[in-house]
A and B are shown apart, each in its own frame.
Chain A
Amino acid sequence: MDPARIRNFSIIAHIDHGKSTLADRILEVTGTLSGRDMREQVLDTMELERERGITIKAQAVRVAWKGHQLNLIDTPGHVDFTYEVSRSLQACEGAVLVVDAAQGVEAQTVANAYLAIENNLEIVAVVNKIDLPQADPDGRAAELGGLIGEPPDRVLRASAKTGFGVEAVLDAVVERIPPPTGDPNTASRALVFDSSYDQYRGVVAFVRVVDGSFRARERLRAMAQGTRFEVEELGFFSPTMRPAESLAAGEVGYVITGLKDVSRLRVGDTLTSEASPAAAPLPGYKDVKPTVFAGLFPTDSDDYPELRDALDRLKLNDAALFYEPETSQALGFGFRCGFLGLLHMEIVRERLEREFDLDLIVTAPNVAYQVETPTGEIVEVHNPADMPSDVERVEEPYIKASVIVPKEFVGAVMELCNERRGRFDHMEYLSEQRVHLTYELPLGEIVLDFYDQLKSRTRGYASFDYDLAGFREGSLVRVDVLVGGEPVDALSLIVHREGAYARGRALVERLREEIPRQFFDVPIQAAIGSRVIARETVKAKRKDVLAKCYGGDITRKRKLLERQKAGKKRMKQVGAVEVPQEAFLAVLNLNEDGGGRRGG
């Protein structure tokens, strides 16, 4: 295909603004898929993705439109996968930016628009769902135009649901988005913008050919990682796999590598011919590192091997998942896992529980700290319990947070960000009603319950997105928790020195509610080093016996006791104290003001 007749583009949108529906409709309108074959939201393959309305793994589909080859590259829909989104966008020359005609511009719309602009993409702006009764196409078009610096009349109107305006979107893709540049006659280079793992065929790379061309059976090299392999098959999706003889400059397709491990071919790497390699890789490769960590422990310690096998299998498909064995005094054997973000963590946890039928305790998440010891050594700490007691300085990761919210909630959002050590950066009115706020915040203040708090304080109206913004020194301390005098490693947390007292107080108060009364008083203490900063006591219980027990009650009474015994088995033993699993999540639900709940 003549590169002049190729258009490579993505659809980008905030969650639920209609990206997948539009993609489906494009397949239908272009005849790639007949209505009879339509499966709702074809591009989302995993069960979980459909339920959550998000897309984890990108694919690319080739469609034909008025003599042109259009490659629609699907992008992951969430902040945790920003790097993957940006690689997908790098494979395109343009993007269709979709906004819900009722909801308007949201935080991810802004983040996606900026990403597209950074990648020099031509943006085709579309107001979708104009058939909704609460739709405000003109208002939304003005908002969207303002965001990308275009007059509102350039913004298209569509309803992916009814099909209205979809052809106009395709025409605009052809007219406005430039064809790929790149040299078909030079040494070959292709960007790996996504990959997935197939049990039988190994790693399947999704590539955008930039220069030269690639052929089946050719030996290739991944330039950043140095991985070598022979192409088992290449081709494109339309919408199912269509093997081809070659992929040429400007084209998008898949390469079956036969590699047995996704970590050997990372997103962002450049493929080139081993026989006549290119001189330099395409720019922009970076090794994505996990930012959020949590301990995963099987509820029943006998399930440890099953958990290990399950993580091994997930890792095949998820190069960003990190895990290493961890031993907790309180929770036994498990894994310390690293994730790209909270959503990634949630997805992994759900997949472990749903697909592998595991019953897990997940400890409160924390971030990675850069710690300088007095000897000048720099160590990265993934687990609060591993924080050395003697440190020279500690650096914590920061983010640039973007919040879009109706104007009446601006005060509430600012208050929340200030409580979380945020630094105000910028405020801008997107329209008369809606405000875009940006803050710099320590990631460690986000991972616990920031998102829930944001949602509850704005009655669900706020949308939130963030970008990592490097490490900064912080005055951080480790708060340990002692139950019955025994330190509970799984409850340690790292907090800012100024908030330590309030956090410790809130934590022990919360634990007092979570730990049932025992045969004896149980002191619960929060301590920094050997200094106790907060203390509560779970008072010994004084009565635990059924009053009535006669001939007709004995069976029922015995069954109650059996249940009581079974309940004890689900408890974790900390010294002599029985601690329910929920208590290990206490850290997650501390009150935002750090004051804990009142009560006597």
Chain B
Amino acid sequence: MDDVRHLYVHLPFCAHRCGYCDFVTVVGRRGQHAAYVDALLAELTLERDLLAPALETLFLGGGTPTFTEPAVLARLLAALPDAREVTVEANPETVTPALAALLREHGVSRVSLGAQSFEPRLLATLDRAAGPDDVRRAVYALRDACFDNISLDLVYGIPGQSAPDLDSDLAAALALEPEHLSCYELEAKPGTRFTHAHAEELARQAAAMEGYFERVVETLIGAGYRWYETANFCVPAGHAGGRDLRAQHNLGYWRGRDYLGLGIGAVSTVAGRRWRNAPSLGSYVGMLRSGSRPRREVEVLPPATRRAEQVLLGLRLDEPLRLAPVAEAVDAAGWERVERLGLAERRRDERGEEAIALTQRGRFLGGAVTAEVLA
């Protein structure tokens, strides 16, 4: 059976909304946390049959999952099925020793901290509540609670940022010795107040972005990390006692696996269908309370579309993509062109089967190379 082995749970609540954020979030509403968690669990019950008996990964994303009322969060964690990897996203200012202990007690194995930057001026630009010391304190609290898989998120291309700022952010992050790092360029959505307010500076940052990206990759590889996905780095297994520290949940996405998403705005992809729950909190809680599924936007993914997605996702990884299942999605002439230019290469996967991957330079140009390769 192709049962779903990856479960995502969306916890939308935040203390406030950061200017650059475009996720489905809900500010405050402490009184509604419990009702929302009830709805999440009701949705889980409705979709339970889709899930495999044993999950590989569970991921609580947000929003700020750790902003959720601790008792409510504890109830949710207790009710969710167990998984080999359980990740929770956290904002540094919410991570107290008590919270760290709560997470640990409820089987959380991995915490992803939204550090974004260590420069107070840039954190202010992003409307982030945490300061650099909050990030450090959060990491120490997690270490004290015996977390041995911590990820830090960094953002670059922030209005006002310079190359030396980025260097010191990377150095500050590395000093905390995280097992995993995610580094994203700031994506300013057109039409938002943030984009409008920083238009000129964002244009300057956009011009500098390719330099930043190279700097991030160079620095982290230099520090011994594995650049296993376009924006993701981890301590290699060889330096971690053989543990695979890649984000197993996200690897599921990149390998084209099916996944179930619960909560408002959450996306699921199961057996050739993808759906996104409507973002309205009231409607979500109301529908599930009355025993029906939430409103959803459904997209049918024909096999050809699935194959194209497997190529575009798989080529983000450093591990080779087995060719046979996706061969129809690859344009021979386009492939030859990027191969000749040294942007992609044929390899063997771990089973010795024919596979494809991007070269180091090709990975910097992954979007354009994929556009070339796809039939």
Within 8 A of A (CB), among B67-124: none
Question: Which residues of A have CB within 8 Å of B261?
Answer: 551-552
Within 8 A of B (CB), among A504-559: 519-520, 541-552, 554-555, 557-558
Instruction: Select one of A519, A545, A549, A568 contacting B363, CB under 8 A.
Output: A545
Tell me the minimal C-beta distance from A553 to chain B in angstroms: 9
Give the residue among A542, A547, A554 with the most B Cβ atoms within 10 A: A547
Interface status of A375 (Cβ within 8 A of chain B): no
Question: Which residues of A have CB within 8 Å of B183?
Answer: 547
Give the residue among A551, A555, A564, A576 with the most B Cβ atoms within 10 A: A551
- The docked-state distance in angstroms from the alpha carbon of A386 to that of B265 is 62
Instruction: Select one of A519, A558, A568 contacting B341, CB under 8 A.
Output: A519
Residue total for B at the interface (Cβ-Cβ under 8 A):
46
- The docked-state distance in angstroms from the alpha carbon of A576 to that of B268 is 41
- Chain A positions 97 through 112: 1 when the CB is less than 8 Å from some CB of chain B, otherwise 0: 0000000000000000
Contact of A554 with B253 in the complex, beta carbons under 8 Å: yes
- The docked-state distance in angstroms from the alpha carbon of A542 to that of B308 is 24
Question: Which residues of B have CB within 8 Å of A543?
Answer: 209-210, 213-214, 364-365
Q: How large is the interface on A (under 10, 10 to 19, 20 to 34, 35 or more residues)?
A: 20 to 34
Interface status of A565 (Cβ within 8 A of chain B): yes
- Segment among B41-49, B141-149, B237-245, B367-375 that sits at the interface with chain A: B367-375
- The docked-state distance in angstroms from the alpha carbon of A519 to that of B358 is 14
Contact of A551 with B213 in the complex, beta carbons under 8 Å: no
Contact of B253 with A550 in the complex, beta carbons under 8 Å: yes
Contact of B259 with A554 in the complex, beta carbons under 8 Å: no
Give the residue among A519, A546, A561, A564 with the most B Cβ atoms within 10 A: A519
Tell me the minimal C-beta distance from A576 to chain B in angstroms: 8
Question: Which residues of B have CB within 8 Å of A519?
Answer: 338, 341, 343, 365, 368-369
Question: Across the A-B interface, how many residue pairs have beta carbons closer than 8 Å?
Answer: 96
Contact of A549 with B368 in the complex, beta carbons under 8 Å: no
Q: Closest residue of chain B to A554, judged by CB?
A: B309
Within 8 A of A (CB), among B206-220: 209-211, 213-214
Contact of B269 with A545 in the complex, beta carbons under 8 Å: no
- The docked-state distance in angstroms from the alpha carbon of A554 to that of B313 is 8
- The docked-state distance in angstroms from the alpha carbon of A557 to that of B370 is 11
- The docked-state distance in angstroms from the alpha carbon of A548 to that of B214 is 16
Instruction: Select one of B231, B268, B274, B372 contacting A547, CB under 8 A.
Output: B231
Contact of B230 with A565 in the complex, beta carbons under 8 Å: no
With contacts A551-B261, A561-B312, A561-B370 taken as known, whether A545 is within 8 angstroms of B266 at the C-beta atoms is no
- Chain B positions 248 through 273: 1 when the CB is less than 8 Å from some CB of chain A, otherwise 0: 00100110000101000111110000
- The docked-state distance in angstroms from the alpha carbon of A557 to that of B309 is 9
Contact of B187 with A542 in the complex, beta carbons under 8 Å: no
Contact of A565 with B374 in the complex, beta carbons under 8 Å: yes
Tell me the minimal C-beta distance from A556 to chain B in angstroms: 10
Contact of A555 with B299 in the complex, beta carbons under 8 Å: yes
- Chain B positions 294 through 320: 1 when the CB is less than 8 Å from some CB of chain A, otherwise 0: 000001000001001100110010000
Contact of B368 with A520 in the complex, beta carbons under 8 Å: no
Question: Which residues of B have CB within 8 Å of A548?
Answer: 184, 187, 231
Question: Which residues of B have CB within 8 Å of A561?
Answer: 312, 367, 370-371, 374
Question: Which residues of A have CB within 8 Å of B210?
Answer: 541-543
Interface status of B233 (Cβ within 8 A of chain A): no
Question: Which residues of A have CB within 8 Å of B374?
Answer: 561, 565
- The docked-state distance in angstroms from the alpha carbon of A253 to that of B316 is 76
Tell me the minimal C-beta distance from B265 to chain A in angstroms: 7
- The docked-state distance in angstroms from the alpha carbon of A238 to that of B33 is 83
Question: Which residues of A have CB within 8 Å of B12?
Answer: none
Question: Which residues of B have CB within 8 Å of A546?
Answer: 230, 367
- The docked-state distance in angstroms from the alpha carbon of A230 to that of B365 is 72
Contact of B299 with A551 in the complex, beta carbons under 8 Å: no
Q: Closest residue of chain A to B157, judged by CB?
A: A547
11 new A-B contacts, CB < 8 A, other than A547-B184, A547-B231, are: A519-B369, A542-B210, A544-B366, A544-B369, A545-B316, A548-B187, A549-B231, A552-B265, A554-B313, A561-B367, A576-B337
Interface residues of A (CB under 8 A from B): 519-520, 541-552, 554-555, 557-558, 560-561, 564-565, 568, 576
